Structure 1
Amino acid sequence: MQQVNYLSAYPAALQQQIQQLIEQQQLGHWLRAKYPHEHQLSNDQALRDYALEIKNRYMRKSAPLSKVVYDPKIHVLKHALGLHSYVSRVQGNKLKSKNEIRISSLFKKGPEAFLQMIVVHELAHLKEKQHNKAFYQLCQHMLPHYHQLEFDTRVYLTHLELIGPVYS
């Protein structure tokens, strides 16, 4: 039996279902049936445009983003799937702030739905810093099936770690 690290917070019954798919060598088939295509957002500019489109649709009045990039240094097990950073500095007599979103470069390939879930998660941190009820309500406002996509993304990461790439 292989360890499913990304799913440790989920109920044992769900973990067992995924374990069965792994043992039956069906996990990749399950993922490809549910998410048949990879996205085409393979560079930082495309990712930035994508994130800004979502931000402008749901969070137009929130603080601006100064940077949105894929980051090869993010280790998904330690730092989750992406990072949001907020830096404020005094320049002269003005307070300047920068909001950055960094997404693991592991997600340069994969279904758009997973990338969308990560972008929505990081955008929600512009308004809600903590993972509280208001944070998850905002995520669901932007992406109604947010929780299902988070689970499926973790299943995808499990496949990558234990078996390898889902898409060739």
Structure 2
Amino acid sequence: MPPLKYLQAYPEHLQQQVRQLIAQGRLGDYLAQRYPGQHAVQSDKALYAYVSELKQRFLRSAPAVDKVLFDNRLDLTHRALGLHTAVSRVQGGKLKAKKEIRIAALFRQAPPEFLRVIVVHELAHLREADHNKAFYQLCEHMQPGYHPLEFDLRVYLTALSVGFAT
């Protein structure tokens, strides 16, 4: 079986459990049982409102987010699930930076927990640029139980990459 590229940083015993579910053809069922729902955030406007509400609740003093959208160009092959960018433009005599968050379009059909993990991750980058201890503490503050959800999100991506519909 090929390596589980989304789970490579995790202990071998966890990877082995996922391999066993794949071999038994039960990975999709496992995920569907743990995460049965699908979120209602289907438009870019609804996504902007969702992100803005989380930002207002947890990161009031962070820079404003000017644009939020589902991006069809982000996919599993680029290993980018979401992007945060600062687009700099000259307006008059001033340089203005606009913050953007782009979420991979595949998350339109994802369980709500996975959308939230991606949004929390991208919002945390407004305060912490690097994936360091402070970054993950902020993620955990915004989403208690962030780490197990991130693992399950990686299992979800693995399921999509091996062809299991969830």
Q: TM-score range by the shorter chain?
A: over 0.9
Moved more, 60-69 or 85-94: 85-94
Match of 2:46 in 1: 46
Match of 1:85 in 2: 85
TM-score (norm 2): 0.94
Percentage of identical aligned residues: 54
1:109 is aligned to 2:109: yes
How far apart are residue 25 of structure 1 and its match? 1.3
How far apart are residue 110 of structure 1 and its match? 1.1
**Contact 2:28-2:164 at 8 Å conserved across structures:** no
**Contact 1:139-1:146 at 8 Å conserved across structures:** yes
Match of 2:58 in 1: 58
Match of 2:96 in 1: 96
| Stretches of structure 1 lacking an aligned partner (at least 5 in a row) | none
How far apart are residue 92 of structure 1 and its match? 2.8
Match of 1:159 in 2: 159
How far apart are residue 43 of structure 1 and its match? 1.2
**Contact 1:2-1:19 at 8 Å conserved across structures:** no
| Stretches of structure 2 lacking an aligned partner (at least 5 in a row) | none
**Contact 1:44-1:70 at 8 Å conserved across structures:** yes
Query: How many matched pairs?
Result: 166
> Deviation digits for residues 102-151 of structure 1, max 9, x if unmatched?
01101110100000000000001111111111111111110111111111
Match of 2:3 in 1: 3
Match of 1:123 in 2: 123
Distance of 1:156 and 1:44 partners within structure 2:
23
Moved more, 149-158 or 93-102: 93-102
How far apart are residue 77 of structure 1 and its match? 4.3
Write the letter of the residue equivalent to 1:115. L
Q: Which runs of 4+ in 1 moved over 2 A?
A: 75-80, 87-95
What RMSD over aligned residues (CA atoms) do the two structures have, in Å?
Answer: 1.3
Write the letter of the residue equivalent to 1:8. Q
Distance of 1:122 and 1:90 partners within structure 2:
25
TM-score (norm 1): 0.93
